[in-house]
Amino acid sequence: MLVSALAKTGCICMFIRKFLLILGCLPALAWAHHPDKVAKPDHGLRDVTVLIVRHAEKPPQGNGLSPRGEQRAEAYATYFDPWRLGTESLTPDRLIATKDSTESWRPQLTLTPLSQRLGVPIEQPFADDQVDALANALRQGNTAGVVLIAWHHGHIDKLIDALGGKSRHIIDRKSWPEDVYDWVVVLHFDHQGELDESRSRLVVEHLLPGDGG
């Protein structure tokens, strides 16, 4: 009788321990399956706006900006916070610039005042001729809704094409002019991540005296 009672007591204790263990796991399971706690997947270019600018004005020599280029960079801090076009009001939550080289730091310098204002770091993973790699990276790993890119003018047309656009249609010429610094290329992508050509366009900034001339 005593042995039987002890055996029953042992079974009861084991059952209680298992029950308590299950109860202890429930909060973790609930956290893991709560829709607000699950890591959101990368959405690539779905429902994304990409803004592309040329770096600000360059001096006759050196890898930095001219005084007018510095003015434009400073003006971008408020121009893009937020950026407005018609009824749209968008603030970049991702900043990308061409990788620095011995010849030019200008794309990074162009976005620095805006980066400081927004508290958003400037990413520089690619050189100016690596537009296909940048486009692929945005399609595969982007989670931002508004991306602002500062690039060298000689490759902006190729970047537009790499993102699915037709640069000749958007900038209305074969390539970006050497003397133009006051354009913003606006690329809107639909819910499937495809470029919406009807909402993609070129905008003249009219930010500094002489812009749009």
pLDDT given for residue 24 in this prediction? 44
pLDDT given for residue 9 in this prediction? 47
Which of 80, 32, 117 has the alpha carbon at shortest distance from 207? Answer: 80
CA distance 105 to 212: 25
Yes or no: say if 182 and 68 are a contact pair by the CB < 8 Å rule.
Answer: no
Provide CB contacts within 8 A for 38, sequence distance 6+: 32
CA distance 196 to 188: 6
pLDDT given for residue 174 in this prediction? 87
> Is the pTM higher than 0.85?
no
Per-residue pLDDT of the chain (213 residues; tens, 9 = 90+): 444 443 444 444 454 454 444 444 443 333 333 333 333 445 799 999 999 999 999 999 999 999 999 999 999 999 999 999 889 899 999 999 999 999 999 999 999 999 999 999 999 999 999 999 999 999 998 999 999 999 999 999 999 999 999 999 999 988 999 999 999 999 999 999 999 999 999 999 999 999 987
Indicate the fold that domain 49-204 takes in CATH.
Rossmann fold (3.40.50)
Yes or no: say if 115 and 122 are a contact pair by the CB < 8 Å rule.
Answer: yes
pLDDT given for residue 213 in this prediction? 72
Mean pLDDT for the chain? 85
Yes or no: say if 50 and 150 are a contact pair by the CB < 8 Å rule.
Answer: no
pLDDT given for residue 54 in this prediction? 98
Domain ranges for the chain, please list them. 1-38, 49-204
Yes or no: say if 146 and 92 are a contact pair by the CB < 8 Å rule.
Answer: yes
pLDDT given for residue 42 in this prediction? 54
Helix%, strand%, coil% for the chain, nearest 5: 40, 15, 40
Q: Tell me the three state secondary structure of residue 1.
A: coil
* pLDDT tens track for 28-63: 333 333 333 333 445 799 999 999 999 999 999 999
**What distances in angstroms separate CA 147 from CA 46, 65, 112, 189, one per listed residue?**
12, 23, 15, 12
> The dihedral of CA 60, 62, 68, 72: what is its sign?
positive
Neighbours of 97 (CB within 10 A): 27
